[in-house]
Structure 1
Amino acid sequence: MIKQLSIFLENKKGRMWKALDVLEEAGINIRALSLADTSDFGILRLVVPKPDEAKEVLEKKGFLVKIGEVIAVGITDKPGGLNKILKILNRSDINLEYLYAFVEQNKSRAIVILHPENIDAGLEALQNSDADVLTDAEVYGI
């Protein structure tokens, strides 16, 4: 499992930019991100190589930040790659709350960040099905 930051942002002009500016000033690079919003606020989810440091610098600037765990899985970057992972979770009756993905540069695979309702059961199902579950070092080093 890897650590993911969830940053709660007011739906105001410039709030996402300010959060990312704080990380830039701290020299913290972003490996993956997702943004979900409602009419009042947004949740910026980030995978960064230094999650604890990122949380600290963001909180010092007034941001509400939570660190949670997610699962990173490598999949083939071709039609059906993601479907194989979703089929594993479905067969194990594991509900997926959200996911986001990115394509790894210079490789023929994509990385999917998964947050199942039960993270331990999701991880076990994926590992027992020989999915390419990535370590935090592998993801942070991309």
Structure 2
Amino acid sequence: MKGEKEMTIKQISVFLENKPGKLAEFVEVLRGHGIDMRALSLAEASDFGIARVIVDDPDKTQQVLAEAHFISSVTPVLAVAVSDQPGALYEMLEAMREGSVNIEYTYAFTTRTDKGAYMVFRVADKSIDDAVRLLEKHNIKIVAQDDIYKL
């Protein structure tokens, strides 16, 4: 089994004011530096939002965001390939339940190269290795950071 760092991908969470145009400003910074988003999830509260992104170059993105005065953080998440067939998501979720792995949040994205989708899962840091072990046991493909670069 590969180590945790090899099996997770870097998700960047960016805090945005909950005001018109703030998401556009954030995306413009990425565009202006040639950073390609692979996935985007947006959660909001009354005063701020959190944009969670998977990008082609997370290290460059962190640097660019800091220079542009955005508050951001990097979180290790699991990305899992989901086949395009009924019950595929259930198999993943059942594997996690089997090991009592709690999913904090999840979102999905598709790519132009594959016919399936990818699910991003955030689990507690102490549960990452358990989740990886369970998914591998059930022959569920975990996507590595290098694979994300190639999408």
TM-score range, shorter chain: over 0.9
Q: Distance in 1 between the 2:104 and 2:112 partners?
A: 27
Aligned to 1:88: 95
Q: Deviations over 1:3-35 (max 9, x none)?
A: 110001111111111111000000000011100
1:33 aligns to what? Answer: 40
How do residues 15-94 of structure 1 correspond to structure 2 at under 5 angstroms? Answer: 15-94=22-101
Aligned residue identity for 1:70: V
Match of 1:126 in 2: 135
Shift of 1:104: 2.7
| Letter matched to residue 77 of structure 2 | V
> Which runs of no fewer than 5 residues in structure 1 stay unpaired?
none
Cα RMSD after superposing both structures: 1.2
Q: Secondary structure, in 3 states, of the residue corresponding to 1:94?
A: coil
Number of aligned residue pairs: 142
Larger CA deviation: 128-137 vs 35-44: 128-137
Counting aligned pairs with the same residue, the percent is 36
| CA distance in 2 between partners of 1:107 and 1:55 (Å) | 27
- For residues 52 and 41 of structure 1, what CA distance do their matches in structure 2 show? 24
Amino acid at match of 1:125: L
Whole-angstrom distance in 1 between the partners of 2:113 and 2:35: 22
Query: 2:21 matched to 1:10?
Result: no
Counterpart CA distance in 1 for 2:10 and 2:123 is 14
Give the letter aligned to residue 113 of structure 1: V
Aligned residue identity for 2:52: R
Q: Where in structure 2 are the equivalents of 1:90-109 lying within 5 Å? A: 90-109=97-116
1:126 aligned counterpart, secondary structure: helix
CA contact (8 A) 1:89 1:126 kept: yes
Deviation at 1:106, TM superposition (A): 4.6
Q: Tell me, what secondary structure is at the counterpart of 2:105? A: strand
Runs of 5+ unmatched residues, structure 2: 1-7
Contact 1:77–1:103 (CA under 8 A) maintained in structure 2: no
Query: 1:77, CA displacement in angstroms?
Result: 1.4
